[in-house]
Amino acid sequence: MQLLSWIYTVFVAVSMLNSANAITNPQLLAGTSKQFLDLSQGPQKITLDYNTNDLLKFQFEYIPSPAPKTNDEQEDAPIVANTKPQHASLVLSVDNKIEQPYMIKSSKDNVYSWLLQSSQLPNPLVYYSTKWGKPISGKLYFKSAEEAIVNELFFEIEFDKTTISDQTLSSLIVEAPEQEKKNSVKPEIIHQFHAPPKQANKFIVSIFIVAVLLGALFTLVSWFAAIDFSKNHITLRKQCGTLVYLAGFLVGILGLEFSFFQYYLGNNDIFRTLYNVFVLFTLPTMYAGAKLLKRLY
């Protein structure tokens, strides 16, 4: 029993300490009433006339815990607040989907208040509250060094549907669809990957390359057969003789075919292939071929 009594005493002391740091006297002024509603016992629900521009006022008090006194301070020294709240905001929302935050400012006597005319409520809040039949919830976000209040409901606002005509409701849609589009589920992105490009069979390409080489060789043989060769045609007396030009021409043709074949197999990219074809083989092959034909004819 003594243990239970001690636990109960500690619990009461901790509760009193927390209550000293908690916000106090939350109140709401709304509608035609000239008196504040007490929100300390739980959230209150109010109904407003849309055609009446009512004042909405939410306020509460917060007194931070006093700073600890040092030994040098006198007993009758004034109490100084330990810390100031780091954040205080009121969030109006409909079904936790459409939200509008408001910063709450404090006065010198640690009273935090929020003021707004009912006509200044954002159109999406009024529209979706009426459309979905959900109230506009007022939730407090409060952060200080001693405590944190997150998403605590204090009041709910509803509009009398008889005071909102269909024409009035449709006029609110001017701003609402953008908010609805922003908060709605986005369509699924489906990417259609293109099929890989069709290519000829490697075996057929190889046969084609061989046929081209044979055709080039047949052309050269035909040239030599059509010319009445003599010892003057094939000579190495000059700096670069006919056999050298012939060898260079054949090597150039083989190099061009080899470059295209490597590109088809994927060993070289398009830039490397262009470099090989135009720089390494095309120009030297044309030069060697021209010199060869000049000597043969």
pLDDT tier, 187 (very low <50, low <70, confident <90, very high otherwise): confident
Domain ranges of the chain: 23-65+81-181, 202-296
pLDDT at 78 over 60: no
Contact 168, 50 (CB under 8 A): yes
- Render pLDDT for 119-175 as a digit per residue (tens, 0 to 9): 888 888 888 888 888 899 988 888 776 667 777 888 888 888 888 877 777 777 655
Q: At what angle do helices 176-183 and 123-132 cross, to 10 degrees?
A: 70
Q: Mention the CATH class of domain 23-65+81-181.
A: mainly beta
The mean pLDDT value of the chain amounts to 74
pLDDT score at 237: 53
Q: How confident is the model over 258-263, as a mean pLDDT?
A: 84
